[in-house]
Every structure is written in C-alpha cells, then in structure tokens.
A and B are shown apart, each in its own frame.
Chain A
Amino acid sequence: MISLLLKMWAFIKRDFESEVSYRLAFVLQVGGMFFSLLAFFYMTGMIDPDSAGLDGIRPFDWMLVGLSFQFYFSAALFSFSQKIRGEQMLGTLEAMLVSPTPTSMVIFSSAAFDFTYGAIRVMIYMAFAVLVFGVKLYATGLGAFALGAVLTLLSSAGLGILSASFILYFKRGNPINFLLSGATTFLGSVFFPIEQLPAWIQPASNYLPVTWSLRIVRGSLLQGKGFAELQRELLALAVMTAVLLPSGLICSKFAIRKAKLEGSLVHY
C-alpha cells in the first residue's frame, strides 16, 4: 500500500515539476480565476435570491460552489483519458508499462496531479470567495463535507477510468466524456438549480454523481449541515461510487487486455 502511495506521489511530483516549468501560465490561471469570480459576482446580482432551488443560499455563493467544483469534475472526466492519450503520443506510456508497476496503477495515477490541482483550485476559489467576496463558510459541516469530497473523488475517478478505457480501446475521443460533461453542466445543478427545468426532466439529475456531490458541498459548507441532515445525499453518492468505481476498474482491465491482444496498448 505504501509502495502504491509512493508511486502515486511520484506521478504527482512529475506533473508538478512539469507544471512549474510553465510558471507564468500558473500565475495567469489564478488571475483568470479571480476575474471569472468577479464576473459571476456581478452576474448573480441580477438573480432573484428567492428563486426555486436556491434553498435560501445567496445566488453568488450557490453558483460559486458549482463553478469551483465544475473544474474538479472536468478534471475527473477528462484527465484520465487525456493523460493516457498524451502519454501514448509522447511515447512515455510504453516506458511506464514495461516497468513492474501494474497498468491499472499507471492509468489511475496518471490523473493524480489533476485531481490534486483540481482540489487546489477549489481551495483558491473558496479563499477568494471568503476573503474578497465575503462568503461565509460553516465549519460545523466539515465532517460531512470531507466524506462527500472522498466519495466525489472516488465516483469521479470511476467515471474517469471508464473514459480512459474508451481511449485505450478506441484510440479516439470517447462518447462518455461528451455526454457526461454536457449532462453534468445541464442537469447537475452546477450553474442553476434543477428546479428551474421542466418537472419531467428533473429526475434525470438524480442519476448524476455531481448532483449529489454539489448538494453535499452546498449543504455542508454554505448551510452548516451535518451527517444527519445530509445522510440521503451521502448514501446516494456512496451507492453511485460503489457502482462506478468497480465498473471503471473492470472496464479498464478488459480494455487493457484487449489492447494487449491487439497490440495497440501504446498506440494512438
């Protein structure tokens, strides 16, 4: 287990070292995040605070959570497949796969930095929100938030690994990403409450992990809800994680075996 964690840390360190070789890009990204928050701050000023689905939360605060976590979900959905495809194109995938590290570990760890960076981006957004825009975060819901974050990470990883399996199998952009990123933005209560949509389509959002993740984050951080008040959401997310993560792992195993038989594991 320690060996696996150290390997994952090696992936994070490798990507961090690559990333800091583009220092200016990092600074510009932080600047961009600030300006996007500023834009949302003024835009949400036009929204009626009593709109359905906001649950009494200030529109800016409500959207801030969606915005900051949107990057996290995107990282989960896209980074596995993008990293694997990137490594295939760089020629580094073969070098990793001839090492004794299992292929599934290579796939899983390849996105570790993006997840970490995604979490850092969430924290930067939150820091701006609290320090500059006066958003109030509740410490009482931190326990539920932490559990929700872990479940979010694992369910997103499951989806991401499914997506990477498509890349290994088909060698091209995969339909899961296009479908899920669109569905997440539209149905996942990221930028507007699902209650704003026609009633017949609202149940569809229940099948997206992002819906439950955002309910947990908003409830815990913005309303101070604890485990008891968020147990339904936590349970739903746990069930989705229990389905998605093993599915991703099984599909990746199948895709790796198929790619090895076809001789296309390191091709793009």
Chain B
Amino acid sequence: MSNYAIEGHGLEKSFVKKRTFRELLRRPFGEGERVSALRGVDLAVERGEIFALLGPNGAGKTTLLKILSSLILPDEGRALVGGHDTIDEKRVKRHLGLVNSDERSFYWRLSARQNLRFFARLYDVPGNRIDARIDELLTRVDMMAAADRPFSGYSSGMKQRIAITRALLHDPPILLMDEPMSSLDPDNARELRRFVLEELNRRDGKTIVLASHNLREVEVLANRVAILVAGKMRQVGTVDEVRRWGVHQRRYRLTVDADTLPSGPFEIVSREAGDGPHRFLLALEAPAELPQLLDVMHRAGIAVLGCDRVEPDLEDAFSRIVATEEGS
C-alpha cells in the first residue's frame, strides 16, 4: 500500500470560457476559448498530515479538490485517493469526506438530524448505526441540543459544524476542506481550528487537505503547504520551508537607545520611534552574522537593549511566490 493518502501525477484541467453573445453569433458551432485551471500538478499527501493548498482566487485549488473527489475528470494525468484512481468513484468516495464553505448545501427546512439521516443513507452508513453515529458526531461538535431545530435557524458557525459532521458520517480517513472557515467569526474560526487539529487530525488521525487563502489558518494547522498559482504548483514544503523560500536576509528587531543607526552590513526595513528606546527592524545582508551587527552598534557607542530574530512571514513568502510566478 502506498505511503501517500493522496497522489496527483501531471494533473491538467482546462475549462471552456463562456462565450459572449457576439461570439456565439460569429461562430455558433465553434468551441469557446479554453482557460487552464491546472497545469501539470503533481502532489503527494502523506497519511495523517494536514496539507494546505494556498493560492490566490482562481489558482485552481477548488478544481484540484473536485478532481480528488471525483466530481470532475482531469484532462490529463491521474489522481489516487487512498490508493484508488479517482476514476473508481465509489471506492474513492468511501475514503473521503468533503467540507466546503457553502451553507446552501443542506435542506434548510429540515433539521440537522433530518439532513444527516438523509446523507447517512447516501454515505452507506448501516441503517442500525445511523442514529447512534449521528448522536456521537453531534455530541462531538456540540450540536446535540440544537439538532432538531430547522437548519435555516442556525448561525454560520453551527452550519459549518453540521457540514463537518456530514463529512464524517462514514468515518473517512481523508477530509477535503475547501475554505471551511471563510464565513466564520474569529471565535468560531478558532474553535473550528482547534477541532480540526486536536480532534480530527491528532486524535482520529485523519489526513486533511485544506484549501484556503487564510494564511493564519494555514500557519496554525498545516504540516505542509503547497502554493498554487495560476494552476501550477509553485512551492511545496513545511510551513517553515515555505516561509523561508526566497529569503536571503535574516531579520532582527533591535531595541537601542539611539534614534539613528550607523551604516553597516544591514538594511533598515522599518523603525518605531517613541519617547523611550527606539526599535529598528533590520535585514542583515549575507554573509554578515549577528555578532558583526552588534559590533557595529558597539563601535558607534549605541547600547543594544534587546535583539530578537524575526522569522520570515508566510504572508510575505506567499506574496513573493505569487509575484515570482506573475513575473515569469
């Protein structure tokens, strides 16, 4: 059995762009222009990891998730989920659950319990296990008390918890989550992050593929990150590896008793002036090291009151990677 929960090999997908009325009149039977959504995407998601797909809008994240869940077929390449080719829909779907941010994907006049009973049948949960399974999951997501109220009356946070419950009905080892926290307030988003990380990943050992633009969410949750830009997989690595991508300067935050700094092997990125000590964010030029920086300050008679290493930011890394792709 493969070590990977999910694999993608050379995945290509393009869609036909909708034609304008004028184009339809000009060439009624011609095919419209094709737009590439995925261009030769390879990926390998290890069992039990949280793998984040980061990318700007239209990067191809949702297309990739839809290919993995057998909702659309790739033009080229193949994807394996739980070791099964996505063409083998039934087996693939038994291995995964999909959570998206679309609140509309339930019957609003029915209660959560009625909705879940319906979907449990579709997910092949044995009839004699359905009610117990629903109760177990509703308890875990803290929705038991509200389970018999109409879905229309739930808050966004409650709807999202029911969406997760639905994806877990058949206890799949793999969860695909498409922007699951996009409509949640900060408290609900934090609670959901905790649930995903502590309960689903660490306790249940589920492999999770998370598509998101929320960098904070990705930093907290993901073991590894892939950055998709214009349908191409640009970078894949741990959050730290991706953060450091393209960073050739180390940054330090220096607290000093002077309001100006002498010249040296560094660049001043920003400064915070106040009544007391001044704080400078410095980018050290390679190959200079911290002792050289401190030596420069010492020689200029500047007292260094504090010095912290500033780790590269995922947001900056993301912007750098997107800019590199757009410039290429």
Where the two chains meet, the residues of A that have a C-beta atom closer than 8 Å to any C-beta of B are 3, 6-7, 9-11, 13-14, 17-18, 21, 90-92, 94-102, 106, 257, 260-263, 265-266
Contact = CB atoms under 8 A, between A and B. Distances in A.
Please report whether the interface of chain A is mostly helix, strand, loop or mixed according to DSSP: helix
Contacts of A10: 117-118, 121-122
B321 to A, nearest CB: 26
A99 B122 contact: yes
18 contacts: A10-B117, A13-B117, A14-B110, A14-B118, A21-B110, A92-B105, A94-B71, A94-B105, A95-B119, A98-B71, A98-B98, A99-B93, A100-B124, A101-B123, A106-B122, A261-B73, A262-B16, A262-B72
A263 B104 CA distance: 20
A113 to B, nearest CB: 12
A263 B124 contact: no
Contacts of B109: 18, 21
A264 B105 CA distance: 17
Contacts of B66: 263
Contact of A6 (B71, B100, B104, B127): B127
A90 B170 CA distance: 23
A221 to B, nearest CB: 35
Contacts of A9: 121
Contacts of B72: 260-263, 265
Contacts of B238: none
A259 to B, nearest CB: 9
B22 interface: no
Given A13-B118, A18-B107, A95 B166 contact: yes
Contact of A263 (B63, B114, B121): B63
Given A98-B93, A260-B72, A18 B104 contact: no
Interface in B137-193: 150, 166, 170
A91 to B, nearest CB: 3
A6 B122 CA distance: 9
